[in-house]
Chains A and B, each alone.
Chain A
Amino acid sequence: DAGVIQSPRHEVTEMGQEVTLRCKPISGHNSLFWYRQTMMRGLELLIYFNNNVPIDDSGMPEDRFSAKMPNASFSTLKIQPSEPRDSAVYFCASRNPGSSYNEQFFGPGTRLTVL
């Protein structure tokens, strides 16, 4: 398995533009997490899905952020409109809660820069 796949790996955009981050979880994993990491705030859980259903979105900073998981193999995190303070590394992680381990497997991350 290729592990969790994220695209793009780097994104540079201008303030006000729409940004879409993509994630493909590990096949068979039915939990998916979106995290944001900055120096100031560390790793923050934005939202997580279980069986494609959003379970907890309390970490989503504001209405400019939205996430979807239309099927078990794909999820998107959208920021519209983007702002400079959204600049961060965004990680997607997946987990198979049905296994005896609860390990989250992280993707390589998307480094977002909003100018």
Chain B
Amino acid sequence: GENVEQHPSTLSVQEGDSAVIKCTYSDSASNYFPWYKQELGKRPQLIIDIRSNVGEKKDQRIAVTLNKTAKHFSLHITETQPEDSAVYFCLTGTASKLTFGTGTRLQVTL
């Protein structure tokens, strides 16, 4: 089955700095790469996703990059704000099976 590794497990940045979270995967058939954000006590929600035919996607302060050759993809958050503090999960797989990464707890400090 798919093996997804997510790093780092915790990340602390100062407000205004950038944050980068990386995931690596093993299944070359994976073609869908979403990122979910889970605030404390709440449900995971999709924040951005990318498909295998695209190398990069950006939505305001967040972006995702994909390197299919190396089998890794990353979440980039620029100009971080306190409300970005949450746990972020990568997922990867196909339409029939998605696997969650282990999560990254991001703390944005003032």
Contacts and interface: CB of A to CB of B under 8 A. Distances in A.
A106 B45 contact: yes
A81 interface: no
A109 B43 contact: yes
A11 to B, nearest CB: 16
Nearest to A106: B43
A108 B41 CA distance: 9
Interface stretch (B54-62, B64-72, B98-106): B98-106
Interface residues of A, number: 18
Interface residues on B, range: 10 to 19
Interface stretch (B11-19, B20-28, B76-84, B89-97): B89-97
Nearest to B89: A43
Interface string A84-115: 00000001000001000111101111000000
| A-B pairs with lowest CB-CB distance, top 4 | A106-B43, A43-B100, A103-B46, A42-B102
